[in-house]
Amino acid sequence: MDLKNKIAVVTGAGSGLGAACSRALAARGARVFGIGRNKPHLLAVGESLGKYFVPVQLDLTDEPAVSRWVQELFTGTVFPSVLINNAGKGWFGDIEAITIEE
């Protein structure tokens, strides 16, 4: 897939695999919207990627905020070509003790 001038959204982009995916996408010419909760981490990734990376401080557990962001940014013919949903949240314990909501 030719990624030049395509839009990519990467969650968990402030570190680890999300930052690595952001770097790889930017290297192929994609404009990466990197989502994460930690603004300093996002800004550090952005410093290394320059104009190809747009840091987005956003808590994905805040569904109304995510919906607003998507509706404001992706309208008409502007939409992402790539989504890497890398963000995660973990609960640790016996599977029987973890609720569906968790």
Return contacts of 37-45, CB within 8 angstroms, 24+ apart: 38/14, 41/14, 41/15, 42/13, 42/14, 44/14, 45/13, 45/14, 45/15, 45/19
Parts of the chain with a pLDDT under 70: 100
What was the pLDDT predicted at 93?
A: 80
- Considering the chain, what is the average pLDDT of its residues? 92
pTM of the full structure: 0.85
- The three-state DSSP-derived secondary structure of 24-53 is HHHHCCCEEEEEECCHHHHHHHHHHHHHHE
1 SS3 class: coil
